[in-house]
Amino acid sequence: MEEYPPIIVRLAINRIDLNLIKNENVQPRIYTPGEEISSQPDFLRGHGTYVDDENTLRASVAGVLEKVNKLISIRPLKARYQGEIGDVIVGRITEVQQKRWKVDTNSKLDSVLLLSSVNLPGGELRRRSAEDEQTMRRYLQEGDLICAEVQSTFVDGSLSLHTRVLKYGKLSQGIMLKVSPALIKRKKTHFHNLESGASLILGNNGYIWIGANKQDSDRSEGGFTQDLSRIPQVNREVCARLRNCILILAQCNIQLTDTSVTYAYEESMKYKINELLEPEIMIDVSLLTHQRLIQQ
């Protein structure tokens, strides 16, 4: 394959970003901290802005202007995840506390999963007793990965999670990736069983989980059963290829959906897995994927 100079690699990545912007008919302007936004008095100050001594509205962060009627705010280019009710998230247990677990969800504060917000093994729905509280670490312990839904938000901005639906719960064997939350679009479903045989969870918080196989049996037990059976090498290779494809899309700022991931996976089949993170091959796969997304 022809080798591209570094400048060509950067230009190709930038071209992808510009094409995505044109495809959405949006021409955003980037505001820098301290830059003047408006000197008109009839505005409402939103997030990412401040008013100076001369009553001029200025940006406090680098980002894109968002305007709703008279409310003006700046959406940062890179920011921590800000959860909304109903979001599907992938998180990691960081601490076991009294009647609750603390969960890392890529937000400013750790989220909370209450003991009363989970289904116990067997999918039981009953009052949680003191015995259940004493055996919390048997269900979920530090380091475990979970999939959950945002139930509510607290005043300080932290999130309350629940796993009452059997599709949520503890995640067993697979790969977790971290990308920018801005690349994950809110959709009706974030659980995907790909044609390659792997399962994919696109968390709204920017954490992505790639599973080696379906875990329907685990979900029937309330999401706490951990399958440690040996995974065939073929399935492991599929997960590794999917991981590299997602990293390619994230590096080129292409939105992550089941469609874009599938296209990237198909375009990557002509390369070995360990070649996919080479700059030239990343450009080739990303451009072909972007072209297919435009044509669909």
Which residues span the domain enclosing 56?
32-78
CATH number at residue 63: 2.40.50.100
* Confidence at residue 123, expressed as pLDDT on a 0 to 100 scale: 59
Average of pLDDT values for 249-276? Answer: 91
Residue 63 lies in a domain: yes
As for how many domains the chain has, the answer is: 1
Residue 73 lies in a domain: yes
Residue 23 pLDDT exceeds 50:
no
Residue 42 lies in a domain: yes
Residue 39 lies in a domain: yes
Residue 68 lies in a domain: yes
Residue 57 lies in a domain: yes
Average of pLDDT values for 37-65? Answer: 86
* Confidence at residue 128, expressed as pLDDT on a 0 to 100 scale: 75
Average of pLDDT values for 125-146? Answer: 82
Closest CA to 182 of 86, 276, 267, 106: 106
Residue 43 lies in a domain: yes
Tokens representing 100? 């609750």
* Confidence at residue 129, expressed as pLDDT on a 0 to 100 scale: 76
Q: Where are the beta strands (DSSP E) in the chain?
A: 30-31, 36-38, 44-45, 49-51, 57-59, 63-68, 71-76, 88-97, 100-104, 111-118, 145-153, 159-163, 169-170, 174-178, 191-193, 199-202, 207-211
Query: Please, what is the average pLDDT of the chain?
Result: 82
Q: Where are the beta strands (DSSP E) in 60-134?
A: 63-68, 71-76, 88-97, 100-104, 111-118
Query: Higher model confidence: residue 66 or residue 217?
Result: 66
Residue 37 lies in a domain: yes
